[in-house]
Chains A and B, each alone.
Chain A
Amino acid sequence: MAIEIPKNLSELPTRQTRFVGRGIRRVEDAALLTGRVEFVDDVVLPRMLHCAILRSPFAHARITRVDTSAAEALEGVVAVVTGEDAKRWSFPAQSSPDGWGIHCIAGEKVHYVGEPVAAVAASNRRVAEDAAELIEVDYEPLDVVADPFVAMQSDSPRVLDDQDSNVMMDRIFTWGDVDGAFAAAPHVFNEKFRWNRLGANPTETFGCISEWDPMELNLTIHGSIQSPGMFGLGRAASFGLPSNKVNIISHPHGGSFGGKGGTRGCDISCLLSRKAGGRPVKWIEDRGEYLLSGGSQAWDRHYDVSLAVDADGVVTGLKVGLVDDLGATGEAYGAISAAKPLAAFTGPYTIPVAQYDLKLVATHKLPCGPYRGMGPPPHFFVLEQMMDIAARALGEDPAEFRRKNFIAPDAFPYTIPSGNEYDSGNYPEVLDQALALADYPALRAAQAEARAEGRLVGIGVASAIEPGVFDWNAYAIVGMPGTGVPEGATVSIDIVGMATVRVGFSLEGQGQYTLVSQLVADYFGYEPESVRVVHVDTQSAPPSFGPGGSRLGVAITGAVLGACERIREKMCRVVAVLMQTEPENIELMDGKFCLKGAPGAEMTVAEVAGTMLGRSDLLPPDIDPRPEATHVWTAPGRTPADEEGRAKSYLTAAQAVHVVQVEIDRDTGMVEIQRYCLADDCGTRLNPDTVEGQTEGSVVQGIGAALLEEYVYDADAQPLCTSFMDYLMPTVFDVPEIEKVAVVTPSPFTPLGAKGCGEGAIHTTPAAIMCAINDALSPLGTSAREVPAAPARLWKLIREANGGG
């Protein structure tokens, strides 16, 4: 029997939703706030050892000798592994593009500073670190390339010996008659931009305990793991194990934002466990390791962008040239970040044709990984700067210029040139709400006064799309195969009617257990606190990807409601048998199964469950007597990518408009954010408090991107920002009050009409702040084209504009 997942709140089997759509108290918080959650570093296993990793101080060097004898002789040391062990017992990392992965411990060469060279398992971490210092390594330094433009030259030092060049990919994607559009355009604008390397910094770094079973060849890994299913498949590939021999137990963890990679360190701890005869080996990545060589870095980009605009100020074409410096290998999947903009290439605008000249380049820096937003935030930073450049040149207000180019509310579903389909939206309404919230005319009036006093006050208006509910097909151009990402949930009701939901992901901070409890509570008439949500390991869990790509809220809603539907359908049959009628005559409403048209003829969920489990002898043999169901949800209607990368990929398109006011101190270059207003539309808000939290956190990360965060390397590819003294994230003092207003345009394609919203504001914030900064600078005739807009950079621009130099 087919099930139908409710597409809006009114289809839930309740007269009035009590929990879904409301900001309820999170079910996760009591345990978190009272310290009763078990993080991976809390886990102590019998005979457990501790790992420390020795890392390369060179960006490029030949290893001529590794002597581990002194380390092995230290009391407490049980195992030491080097590149030889990695080569013997593991495969090079999988990568995107294919063929750009290397072993987890360096063999003949090191390729970036921080690359593991050897590792120790010892009785405790202190001894392990002492032992790592005793390992003697001789290096023969080789020429280094830190600049992707130099790296692309044929005579550049090569990063990987088995590749012909450092160019991982060089392709031009053309969607429509781009040359024609630019030839016909009366206005063509061109500008270069630089987005410096930054990245995720979760509260907790990666950690794991790996246990290699030498008899059964099973691998068990506890860890702070974002996507346990994928992580298990990756480890199986690393060690040539069948996937069902790897069990991943993910523990609640302190955030990720894409930074929970950890695969290298995990593989190293697996090698150590194997060498130590199967003893569990714990590796806790410390912050120094994380910043130097963890999942910390992303988006090291050089852009060259052109915009074609017709006589009426309508944008008719977009060309984006991107040289993306992915660092030494493709193992951290930084290439995906270059592919994802295809899901929203032309932003919220009707730009009919577009081109993407994409060059992925290897240098001797840390391999780039994922970061919240996964690539579009820099893309929208450049697109929105181009929109402002065009508006300014044509003498148009930046808000109205955007409005003119918006996709109209009645044009959805709307297919963009790069192939994705936007589900729904009301962009003019979102713009109106943002401008009203900010009192835009008053802001402009105040700005005029400030300018008359010689102050550098600027207002930025920016809009962006957040692609939600990712699909692998969006990344087809960088070699990710396949379409479809499953998310499953198992809902079980016990003999007294209590519900437990088993999911395949652990707590990470987004409040998805609360969402699950809200859904089941409204569906079956429970209180959310009475719904138990448990994470199970990968050998028991339903198929799951977990959080990522702004998908889990939507996907888990589909999975949970699907499982609830299956239980309802089964229970209707049971009740029909007991009431001697047909299942179609039974209806679930507010936790009771009722015989239609017969008031009082009803059974509670608990009564039905009790009957199924206690009296299955009364049921016909074709009814499964368990009040339990699993549903695996995948996004409907996804399509494989064509040759030009076009696909129906991300299922939803949330949209936002941010209005920001800044003032720049013209003597110091320091930027103060004076107002921050935003309107956003992510469809139905399943838990508005959660959406608000996601939005605020994402604005903060966007502020970091715009003003503070940057991993600096010198010309020898030596990293200069390896602690929080130098890698600067916003603190509470750097974040203004964030004023917010919601617009709700439900998605026609998703469970309950929700859209992905987990990555959120970082798509728009850097763009909006830079628009404001450039608005402030415009009277000086200069503009900032590089993020972060550090005070030294802005001061230099101001000084040069004033004729200094």
Chain B
Amino acid sequence: MKSAPFEYAAPSTIGDALQILAENDPDEVKLMAGGQSLMPLLNMRLARPELVLDLGRIADLDYIRETDAGVAIGAMTTKRAVEESDLIRQQHPLFWESTVAIGHPQIRNRGTVGGSMAQADPASEYPAAAIALDVEMVVQGASGERIIAAEDFFVTYLTTALEPGEILTEVRIPRLQPGTGWAFDEVARRHGDFAIVGAVATLALEGGVIRDPRLVIFGAADRALRLRAAEEAVAGRPVSDETFDGTAAPIAQAVEDPLSDVHASEEYRRHLAVVLGGRVLRVAASRAGGGE
């Protein structure tokens, strides 16, 4: 299990990295962040790039910074650093829970926030959290910087809105409005495995009525899916079993073409989406302020 031959570059600045990208055929370059997905693909010869561009030496991409709007996380920040950040844990608990559900400590020691986002695995926790939290993806390319909303960033299996020659450099997470309830849940065969299906939710309560619900599931489709019809089914309604049970039909309908593999059939995944969607909304409601 040895990779096919490839060239290797490890620039120390984002400028150098962009330069190298510009000088090479982008189809033949693989960016490496923590390498947790890329290294197995290389070693199994499923990926055979001409050049591996390792971003691991770009120190400028490793930070967690509080901002006026929330927090900015450098793309090369490890998940372990996020896990150990009091700022994230206290002010961005949904993102923190999504982080600790990823793999095991060894994986989180190497895996990065930007790497997971850019990998866009449909069963990955981060894209779902990013969509639910209105995360902004900061991207740099030859023509400068642009910002992509999370919901537009994840396109389909392992595919993002990044253009050839662009690098994801920062993830900006807005602060939750005070009183916002949130929840994260997933079903995996074992702790630390990619989820069969997972779900995240945020919502607010105003006089016992649900406002601004967000419901995103992952592992059930080609990308993390925001379930607007299910959100509409609970928005403006009181917290009750009837309200949450009302999400079953729209969730099942939204999960049109779920994945099927050795661990879960399509129908089991669709069913889990319904179960977990209901569960996270209930938990989010129980955590929201302003319930009375």
In Å, the complex CA distance between A734 and B189 comes to 10
Could you list some 12 contacts between A and B, CB below 8 A?
Answer: A125-B2, A126-B2, A129-B2, A130-B5, A288-B1, A710-B262, A720-B262, A721-B262, A723-B44, A733-B190, A791-B189, A791-B268
Q: What is the chain A residue whose CB lies nearest that of B187?
A: A668
Q: Does A731 contact B (CB under 8 A)?
A: yes
In Å, the complex CA distance between A799 and B267 comes to 12
Per a CB cutoff under 8 Å, which of A129, A733, A795 touches B192?
A: A733
Query: Closest CB-CB distance, A379 to chain B, in whole Å?
Result: 26
Q: Does A9 contact B (CB under 8 A)?
A: no
Interface string of A648-682 (1 = CB under 8 A from B): 00000000000000000001111000000000000
Query: Closest CB-CB distance, B50 to chain A, in whole Å?
Result: 15
Q: What is the chain B residue whose CB lies nearest that of A728?
A: B189
Q: What is the chain A residue whose CB lies nearest that of B264?
A: A792
List chain B residues, Cβ under 8 A from A449: none
Contact (Cβ within 8 A) A668 B189: no
A residues 778-805 near B (Cβ < 8 Å) are 790-792, 795-796, 799
- Give the interface centre of B104, B262, B272 by most chain A CB atoms within 10 Å: B262
List chain B residues, Cβ under 8 A from A667: 275
Q: Does B4 contact A (CB under 8 A)?
A: yes
- Give the interface centre of A287, A288, A721, A795 by most chain B CB atoms within 10 Å: A795
| CB contact under 8 A between A670 and B187, given known A790-B263, A792-B263, A792-B268 | yes
Q: Does A400 contact B (CB under 8 A)?
A: no
Q: Does B66 contact A (CB under 8 A)?
A: no
Per a CB cutoff under 8 Å, which of A286, A720, A790 touches B1?
A: A286
List chain B residues, Cβ under 8 A from A67: none
Q: Does B60 contact A (CB under 8 A)?
A: no
List chain A residues, Cβ under 8 A from B262: 710, 712, 720-721, 726
| CB contact under 8 A between A730 and B187, given known A130-B4, A130-B5 | no
In Å, the complex CA distance between A733 and B101 comes to 13
Q: What is the chain A residue whose CB lies nearest that of B262?
A: A712
In Å, the complex CA distance between A484 and B237 comes to 77
A residues 72-128 near B (Cβ < 8 Å) are 125-126
Contact (Cβ within 8 A) A733 B189: no
Contact (Cβ within 8 A) B263 A668: no
B residues 231-284 near A (Cβ < 8 Å) are 261-265, 268, 271-272, 275
| CB contact under 8 A between A795 and B271, given known A130-B4, A288-B1, A720-B262 | yes
In Å, the complex CA distance between A720 and B262 comes to 7
- Give the interface centre of B187, B189, B194 by most chain A CB atoms within 10 Å: B189
A residues 716-753 near B (Cβ < 8 Å) are 720-721, 723, 725-726, 728, 730-731, 733-734
Q: Does A708 contact B (CB under 8 A)?
A: yes
Q: Does B193 contact A (CB under 8 A)?
A: yes
Interface string of B177-190 (1 = CB under 8 A from A): 00000000001011
Contact (Cβ within 8 A) B2 A733: no
Q: Does B57 contact A (CB under 8 A)?
A: no
In Å, the complex CA distance between A669 and B194 comes to 17
Contact (Cβ within 8 A) A728 B4: no
A residues 680-733 near B (Cβ < 8 Å) are 708, 710, 712, 720-721, 723, 725-726, 728, 730-731, 733
Q: Does B228 contact A (CB under 8 A)?
A: no
List chain B residues, Cβ under 8 A from A795: 268, 271
In Å, the complex CA distance between A799 and B264 comes to 15
Interface string of B189-209 (1 = CB under 8 A from A): 111111010000000000000
Interface string of B1-37 (1 = CB under 8 A from A): 1111100000000000000000000000000000000
Contact (Cβ within 8 A) B44 A288: yes
Main secondary structure of the interface of B (DSSP, over half): loop
List chain B residues, Cβ under 8 A from A130: 4-5
In Å, the complex CA distance between A125 and B1 comes to 9
In Å, the complex CA distance between A130 and B265 comes to 37
Query: Closest CB-CB distance, A115 to chain B, in whole Å?
Result: 18
List chain B residues, Cβ under 8 A from A734: 190-191
In Å, the complex CA distance between A103 and B262 comes to 32
Contact (Cβ within 8 A) B189 A790: yes
Per a CB cutoff under 8 Å, which of A125, A286, A289, A708 touches B190?
A: A708
Query: Closest CB-CB distance, A122 to chain B, in whole Å?
Result: 11
In Å, the complex CA distance between A730 and B191 comes to 10
In Å, the complex CA distance between A126 and B42 comes to 12
Q: What is the chain A residue whose CB lies nearest that of B278?
A: A667
Query: Closest CB-CB distance, B130 to chain A, in whole Å?
Result: 23
In Å, the complex CA distance between A726 and B191 comes to 14
In Å, the complex CA distance between A287 and B262 comes to 19
- Give the interface centre of A126, A667, A792 by most chain B CB atoms within 10 Å: A792
Interface string of B96-111 (1 = CB under 8 A from A): 0000000010000000
Contact (Cβ within 8 A) A731 B5: no
In Å, the complex CA distance between A289 and B44 comes to 11
List chain B residues, Cβ under 8 A from A289: 1
Per a CB cutoff under 8 Å, which of A287, A668, A708, A728 touches B272?
A: A668
Query: Closest CB-CB distance, B158 to chain A, in whole Å?
Result: 15
List chain A residues, Cβ under 8 A from B5: 126, 130
- Other 18 A-B pairs with CB < 8 A, given A130-B5, A133-B45, A728-B193: A668-B275, A708-B189, A708-B190, A720-B262, A721-B262, A726-B262, A730-B190, A731-B190, A731-B191, A733-B190, A733-B191, A734-B190, A790-B189, A791-B189, A791-B264, A792-B264, A792-B265, A799-B271
Q: Which 3 A-B pairs have the closest CB atoms?
A: A733-B191, A286-B1, A126-B2
In Å, the complex CA distance between A667 and B273 comes to 11
Query: Closest CB-CB distance, B189 to chain A, in whole Å?
Result: 5
Query: Closest CB-CB distance, B212 to chain A, in whole Å?
Result: 27
Query: Closest CB-CB distance, B282 to chain A, in whole Å?
Result: 12
Query: Closest CB-CB distance, A116 to chain B, in whole Å?
Result: 16
List chain A residues, Cβ under 8 A from B193: 728
In Å, the complex CA distance between A670 and B186 comes to 12
Contact (Cβ within 8 A) A731 B263: no
Query: Closest CB-CB distance, A670 to chain B, in whole Å?
Result: 6
Query: Closest CB-CB distance, A21 to chain B, in whole Å?
Result: 38
List chain A residues, Cβ under 8 A from B4: 130, 133
Query: Closest CB-CB distance, A131 to chain B, in whole Å?
Result: 12
In Å, the complex CA distance between A294 and B275 comes to 40
Contact (Cβ within 8 A) A287 B1: yes
Interface string of A250-261 (1 = CB under 8 A from B): 000000000000
In Å, the complex CA distance between A40 and B271 comes to 49
Contact (Cβ within 8 A) A731 B189: no
Query: Closest CB-CB distance, B266 to chain A, in whole Å?
Result: 11
Q: What is the chain B residue whose CB lies nearest that of A722?
A: B44
List chain A residues, Cβ under 8 A from B264: 791-792
List chain B residues, Cβ under 8 A from A733: 190-192
Interface string of A38-72 (1 = CB under 8 A from B): 00000000000000000000000000000000000
In Å, the complex CA distance between A798 and B28 comes to 49
In Å, the complex CA distance between A733 and B189 comes to 11
In Å, the complex CA distance between A731 and B261 comes to 21
List chain A residues, Cβ under 8 A from B272: 668
Q: What is the chain B residue whose CB lies nearest that of A288?
A: B1
Query: Closest CB-CB distance, A481 to chain B, in whole Å?
Result: 39
